[in-house]
With several copies, the nearest count.
Chain A
Amino acid sequence: MSTMTAAKAERRIDTLFAAPPEVEQERMVEAILFASADPLPLAEIAARMPEGTDALAALARLQAAYGTRGVRLVEVAGGWAFRTAPDLGFLMRTEAEETRRLSRAGIETLAIIAYHQPVTRVEIEEIRGVAASRGTLDLLVELDWVRLGPRRETPGRPATFVTTETFLDHFGLASARDLPGLEELKAAGMIGPAPAAGPLPLDGAADR
């Protein structure tokens, strides 16, 4: 290695070796940097090139040649490296799509908001009979099915929730008023018959 370095030092004097043409030098730098696992310092690039080449000049020309292409020649900590253009970062992500059904809590909360909007969190909890989990409402907001509505003009001015256009789109509704009422649901068999209000099951028949 030391003999090589010594030889390099002499290259200005030494005119015996014809240096490769400029285009060829560019190709060399290009290939070296492309194949390298790590950024390469100028000295190392130069050391790998044949005698009489000007690695820095080749780097500069190469950098200009790549310019605004999808790949750029950049100087990073530790040397020179090719990097994909930052504005194309979105291409370096692939999406694995997964479809999940909304949980029971999610769909119930959504139904309450749809039918009772604008409705406060406390009201949702009263209707469902359980505390609303933060995650459930957050997910509905994230899905853009639900958004914050006007504040209720009552003490504490609680926030209300309403459904969105996206919600209507997803469920194929022209407007929230198109949601069928309880009576219609009953007629459509969506609601089962209420328990018989007749004789009391004193003999425990109901348990059987």
Chain B
Amino acid sequence: MSPFETVDGDDDARPTDEPSFTVDIDGFEGPLDMLLSLARAQKVDLRRISVLQLAEQYLAFVASARNRRIELAADYLVMAAWLAYLKSRLLLPPEETDEEPSGEDLAARLALRLERLDAMRRAAAKLMARDRLGQEVFSRGAPETVQIERALTWTAGLGDLLKAYARIGTKEIDRPLRFDRPPIWGVEAALTRLREALGACPDWRALAEHLPPDWLTDVQRCRSAVAGGFVATLELARRGELELRQEGSFAPLMIRAAEPQTRKDAA
């Protein structure tokens, strides 16, 4: 059960030091509610109610409650006191020097207040009488989900493009400084390679066969390899480590490892 099924929803706001027993005077929600109810009973337009009569009715009610030893909530008593004051102001002729509002003013204010509460009551009734969603009116029971497609738009400006190209175009310039190894097969490397080659294969072979194949791929490197190999060959021949021969001009230069005898002599 919902806690709001009863009309006592306002009780929980009250401080606990108030009397726990509050007269639920026929379900009135406070003195203003009760006054409105009494005013309605006059069966005239709220603007034409007799506030004096209303005050008297209210005071009579409070008196009877007291007689029946019913403890009234404090706000009912405050209202009673104020209405008693209002009644006196209405009945006694106003004094010339009186700075307080006149009885008629006070009565008019109370009447307006009742009117305003009444107006909200009527408005609430109209509101609740409307065709309500889920009661009289229904929405689509099977709504179709709307797919959200994330459309990615990629952008790049001409500036980005040019900068990117400039960056690539200058990579060679921008790279860290280092010395390039020139494409030269040095004599030292040639000596090492030829000594190894002759050790493994001491018989007559063309010098070209002993050159490193990866140096023969382009002209520049090939020249360097041939030159390096030739200088190394001459050097090894001088040291007596190899023998060389050539059949004729421009014929392949043949080399082989020197005979041990020759080597000894040279030493």
B164 x A194 contact (CB < 8 A):
no
Beta-carbon nearest neighbor of A112 in chain B? B120
Is B96 an interface residue when CB atoms closer than 8 A count as contact? Answer: no
A residues less than 8 Å from B174 (CB atoms): 192, 194-195
- Which B residues are in CB contact (< 8 Å) with A191? 119, 166, 169-170
Q: 1/0 per position for A100-117, CB-CB distance to B under 8 A?
A: 111111111011101100
A182 within 8 A of partner (CB): yes
Q: Which of A85, A194, A202 contacts B32 (CB 8 A)?
A: A202
Counting CB contacts under 8 A, is B44 at the interface?
A: no
Distance, CA A208 to CA B6, complexed state (A):
23
Chain A, Cβ-Cβ closest to B35: A129
Q: Which residues of B contact A84 (CB under 8 A)?
A: 137-138, 144
How distant is the Cα of A191 from the Cα of B168 in the complex, in angstroms? Answer: 10
Residue of A with least CB distance to B122? A181
CA distance A129 to B30 in the complex (A): 7
**B residues in contact with A36, CB < 8 Å:** 140-144, 146
Q: Is A153 an interface residue (CB 8 A)?
A: no
B126 and A103 form a contact (CB under 8 A)? no
A89-B131, A100-B154 in contact; A198/B117 too (CB < 8 A)?
no
Is A181 touching B146 in the complex (CB atoms < 8 A)? no
CA distance A199 to B231 in the complex (A): 34
Is B113 positioned at the interface, with any CB of A under 8 Å from its CB?
Answer: yes
Set A38, A85, A108: member contacting B124, Cβ < 8 A = A108
Q: Interface SS of chain A: helix, strand, loop or mixed?
A: mixed
Cβ contact within 8 Å between A190 and B147: no
Give the docked Cα–Cα distance between A97 and B160 (Å).
22
A35 engages B135 (CB within 8 Å): no
* B109 engages A132 (CB within 8 Å): no
**B128 CB-CB contact with A under 8 Å:** yes
Known contacts A100-B155, A111-B165: A82-B139 contact under CB 8 Å: yes
> Within A117-134, which residues are at the interface with B (CB < 8 Å)?
127-134
- Give min CB distance, B101 to chain A, whole Å: 6
A171 and B164 contact, Cβ closer than 8 Å, known pairs A103-B4, A129-B30, A196-B109: no
Asked if B157 CB lies within 8 Å of chain A CBs, one says yes
- How does the 8 Å CB contact mask read for A66-103 relative to B, with 1 for contact and 0 for none? 00000000000000011111100100111111111111
Query: What residues of B have a CB within 8 angstroms of the CB of A181 in the complex?
Result: 122-123, 126
Known: A93-B147, A94-B148, A102-B160. Contact between A172 and B132, CB under 8 A? yes
Indicate if B3 sits at the interface (CB-CB under 8 A).
yes
Q: Using an 8 Å CB-CB cutoff, how does the interface string of B63-104 with A read, 1 for contact, 0 for none? A: 000000000001100110110000000000000000001000
- A201 adjacent to B75 (CB under 8 Å): yes
Given A36-B146, A101-B155, A171-B132, check contact A128 B173 (CB 8 Å).
no
Given A89-B131, A171-B133, 18 other A-B residues pairs in contact with their CB atoms under 8 A: A35-B139, A35-B143, A94-B148, A97-B151, A98-B150, A101-B154, A101-B155, A102-B160, A108-B121, A111-B127, A130-B29, A172-B131, A180-B127, A181-B123, A198-B106, A200-B82, A200-B110, A201-B81
Residues of A within 8 A of B (CB): 31, 34-38, 81-86, 89, 92-108, 110-112, 114-115, 127-136, 139, 143, 169-173, 179-182, 185-186, 188-192, 194-196, 198-202, 205-206, 208
| 19 pairs of residues in contact across A and B, judged by CB atoms under 8 Å | A34-B144, A35-B143, A37-B140, A38-B141, A83-B137, A89-B135, A103-B7, A103-B9, A105-B10, A110-B127, A127-B168, A134-B12, A135-B12, A136-B10, A170-B133, A171-B161, A198-B109, A202-B32, A202-B75
Question: B residues engaging A (CB < 8 A)?
Answer: 2-7, 9-15, 29-33, 74-75, 78-79, 81-82, 101, 105-106, 109-110, 112-113, 115-117, 119-124, 126-128, 130-158, 160-171, 173-174, 177
The 5 closest A-B pairs by CB, nearest first: A129-B32, A111-B124, A89-B136, A86-B131, A97-B134
